[in-house]
Amino acid sequence: MEGQKPKIFSGIQPSGELTLGSYMGALRSWKALQDDYDCVYCIVDMHTITVRQKPAELRRRAMEQLAQYLAIGLDPERCILFIQSHVPQHAELAWILGCYTQFGELGRMTQFKQKSQQHAENITAGLFTYPVLMAADILLYQADLVPVGADQKQHVELCRDIAQRFNGIYGDTFTLPEPFIPKLGARIMSLSNPENKMSKSEPEGCVFLMDRPEDIRRKFKRAVTDSETEVRFDPAGKPGVSNLLTIYCSATGKEIPEAEAEFAGQGYGAFKAAVGDAVVELLAPIRQEASRLLGDKAYLEGIYRRGAEAAQCQARKTLSKVQRKVGFLPR
């Protein structure tokens, strides 16, 4: 069976608490795809240190993130779950790929431009070459598909360009990956500022997977909308309401027109309460299961150790092929 299904790779940084945005944009697809693909899912801690971290917090968040991966329904019997820094081939391949990536290409990355503004006092080489490490993540596992939110599309496209360039020089080496972006929920906006993406590094306006039900309800009650009363999907004119409709439909499986009709003539109060309830229903079981799993550290350690071994097995194969192709002498 293994090796016959198409392959998936994706990762999330343990840079903060997982949000409803990362769930609807990425994690939900990860879960849905695990039946039909060979999936490798990673906690990308090496990416996280591109911005200064507190070591104890980084460790704690990596563990919590693994518990949340399991709690949303990723099955360690069906997919590989591991921590990036446990598989040294990521860093090794990243070095090589960096020598096939243009300075100009990296300078055009939207995320780099944003993050270097946010962290103007500490714009490191790691922040700049971040997409090269991401390309190494994906290409090591010969992934066909990369399930991510819309903001990561540009990075997956750069990865594809690097792979194509390498294949052009050395012959077929890497599978060319494609982003997998959900139709609904690819870009969940902040509840307090619906012009901006909900992002864990800006906790204001975020709903977190581990939020208590009462906090979730309160956050939706306070969500920024507009001065009208009509529940209508119009992202340009009514970004707050449209975001809430997207969240509601993504949580309940309903279609946008159906939801618009459901709340016709009801005003925003009832609508916001219903969105809060739908999200509580979605997240409460995840929070419960993640809390339970965090009580069993030995179990979680077992999962990530086993994951690293399985991942390394695949990563070694790709890396040695690449080393041979570029002309490194075998040991």
User: What residues line the site for ligand ATP (CB under 6 A)?
Assistant: 12-13, 15-16, 19, 21-22, 24-26, 148-149, 151-152, 186-188, 197-201
For the packed helices 267-294 and 213-221, what is the interaxial angle rounded to 10 degrees?
150
Closest separation between CB of residue 200 and ligand LTN, Å? 10
- Which residues between 50 and 89 bind ligand LTN (CB under 6 A)? none
Q: Report the 10 Å Cβ neighbour count for 261.
A: 11
Among 87, 132, 139, 146, binds ligand LTN (CB under 6 A): 146
User: What one-letter code names the amino acid at 329?
Assistant: L
User: What does the alpha-carbon distance between residue 304 and residue 310 come to, in Å, rounded to a whole number?
Assistant: 10
Catalytic residue among 200, 219, 238, 272: 200
Task: Yes or no: say if 70 and 78 are a contact pair by the CB < 8 Å rule.
Answer: no
Identify which of 329, 296, 318, 290 has the alpha carbon closest to the alpha carbon of residue 87: 318
Closer residue to ligand LTN, CB minimum distance, 156 or 245: 156
C-alpha dist (Å) from residue 233 to 249, 260, 262: 11, 7, 13
Report the partner that residue 177 touches, choosing among ligand ATP, ligand LTN, none (CB closer than 5 to 8 A by kind): none
Residue nearest to ligand ATP (CB): 25
Q: Name 74's Cβ contacts closer than 8 Å, sequence gap at least 6.
A: 30, 31, 34, 39, 41, 81
Among 11, 182, 205, 276, binds ligand LTN (CB under 6 A): 11
Is 115 considered catalytic here? yes
Closest separation between CB of residue 11 and ligand LTN, Å? 4
Identify which of 211, 208, 245, 213 has the alpha carbon closest to the alpha carbon of residue 226: 245
Q: Is 330 exposed, middle or buried (0-12, 13-18, 19+ CB in 10 A)?
A: exposed
Is 197 considered catalytic here? yes
Closer residue to ligand ATP, CB minimum distance, 179 or 312: 179
Among 44, 62, 223, 315, binds ligand LTN (CB under 6 A): 44
Closer residue to ligand ATP, CB minimum distance, 193 or 320: 193
Among 66, 94, 132, 138, binds ligand LTN (CB under 6 A): 138
Closer residue to ligand ATP, CB minimum distance, 148 or 322: 148
Task: Yes or no: say if 54 and 239 are a contact pair by the CB < 8 Å rule.
Answer: no
User: Which stretches of the chain bind ligand LTN, using CB under 6 A?
Assistant: 9-13, 44, 47, 134, 137-138, 146, 148, 152, 155
List the catalytic residues: 115, 197, 200
